[in-house]
Amino acid sequence: MKKKQQHPGGGADPWPHGAPLGGAPPGLGSWKRRVPLLPFLRFSLRDYGFCMATLLVFCLGSLLYQLSGGPPRFLLDLRQYLGNSTYLDDHGPPPSKILPFPSQVVYNRVGKCGSRTVVLLLRILSEKHGFNLVTSDIHNKTRLTKNEQMELIKNISTAEQPYLFTRHVHFLNFSRFGGDQPVYINIIRDPVNRFLSNYFFRRFGDWRGEQNHMIRTPSMRQEERYLDINECILENYPECSNPRLFYIIPYFCGQHPRCREPGEWALERAKLNVNENFLLVGILEELEDVLLLLERFLPHYFKGVLSIYKDPEHRKLGNMTVTVKKTVPSPEAVQILYQRMRYEYEFYHYVKEQFHLLKRKFGLKSHVSKPPLRPHFFIPTPLETEEPIDDEEQDDEKWLEDIYKR
């Protein structure tokens, strides 16, 4: 018969299998048997050092990745923000609602596409928001030599940030010369309407009353200044034929010599640059929606731009930049222009489609229809804007509209 375990102070041991976790009650003395630590709580100094080394390697790898080159970080973040499909298509969570703040923006404005109106707005906004508006007095040199490109890129890159640089110049590839690629924005319009506006502006100027057409074309002979637009087109004058009509695409294609040759190569390269380097390419016929999206994408530059644009005083200034003495060519002449500008129209419709897709993501309504084989030409009502989506027309992308309205 086994003897009962004796307590050190005498008597039987009340806990023959060891003391409870909290230790023995007072008065029972110290215990020799103790409960060991749980297995999963055991770790050595070597294990701790391994975990910290792994974390350090991860942080260094993340830092090196962010310091690597490639497309502008802002455009990558924006592409992730907008996504390649709608929320319902990819069934993913809503994107981040906070956009990064780019400090380098270039507006390589296309001639006769509302650029003077936008520049007037930018002068007001730069004073209001404190960014550096960098302009140029060079208006008639869009094609640059390699050395001129390097010099201009150097001058732009060394400007005080945040800056917005604007000039009539074909697309510049900053990364080719070792610079940081800025964010590009631009606006285009119906190619025939752009051509007509430029044709009459060179001859008769606008309503500003400063005789700017005489300054821009002082050597133009009187018979050329008053040349009928139909005669210019039908008789195939140089001003009304290629390559002079191939005007919009080079602003997006770039400085390569082939960008000035009407054809598929320049067209496809222009589309590629729009996708990879331009934050937004808007349509002048929908300027108010362009300004709304610019305010959403670049609030540090364009916050409050629409209210300024709609102000009666600014409207009065804007009306002074409207070209005077414009006339509409005959339907026959217009159709000839369309044939000569077929690449310009293919690019215009591509940009317009992308712009409407972007509008829909932010809850702006667009009447998109398949373009006819031959577009119906017209002189559009300037700056006409479509209405926002009504409540009953909202769909499951309402979260995008909520983001837009914030």
364: helix, strand or coil: strand
Residue 12's pLDDT is 52
Say what the pLDDT of residue 17 is: 53
Cα(123)–Cα(133) distance, rounded to whole angstroms? 7
pLDDT on residue 112? 93
**Domain range 104-365, CATH class:** alpha beta
Task: Give the pLDDT confidence score for residue 401 in this predicted structure.
Answer: 38
pTM of the model: 0.67
CB neighbour list of residue 333: distance below 8 Å, 6 or more residues apart: 229, 230, 233, 234
The series of mean pLDDT values per 10 residues for the chain, 406 residues long, is: 51 52 49 49 71 80 59 64 51 49 94 94 96 92 97 96 97 95 97 94 68 62 91 96 95 97 97 97 97 96 96 70 74 96 98 96 68 43 34 35 36
In this structure, what token pair is assigned to residue 137? 């007095």
Pairwise CA distance, residues 328 & 63, whole Å: 59
The predicted pLDDT at position 57 comes to: 77
Q: Where are the domains of the chain?
A: 104-365
Task: Point out the residues that are catalytic.
Answer: 168
**What is the Cα–Cα distance from 374 to 136, expressed in whole angstroms?**
38
Give the pLDDT confidence score for residue 33 in this predicted structure. 47
252 residue type, one letter: F
Coil, strand, or helix at residue 190? coil
Contacts of 373 (CB under 8 A, 6+ apart): none
The interaxial angle of helices 342-361 and 264-277, nearest 10 deg, is 20
- The confidence score (pLDDT) of residue 73 equals 63
**What is the pLDDT at residue 59?**
74
345 within 8 A of 337, measured Cβ to Cβ: no
* Positive/negative CA dihedral, 236, 242, 248, 251: negative
What's residue 137's pLDDT? 86
pLDDT score, position 326 = 73
How many CB atoms within 10 Å of residue 259? 23
The DSSP line for 125-176 is HHHHH--EEE--S--S-----HHHHHHHHHHHHTSPSSEEEE-S-----GGG
Helix or strand (DSSP H, E) at 187: strand 183-188
Which residues in 167-176 are b (16+ Cβ under 10 Å) and which e?
bbbbbbebee
108: closest CA among 152, 52, 59? 152
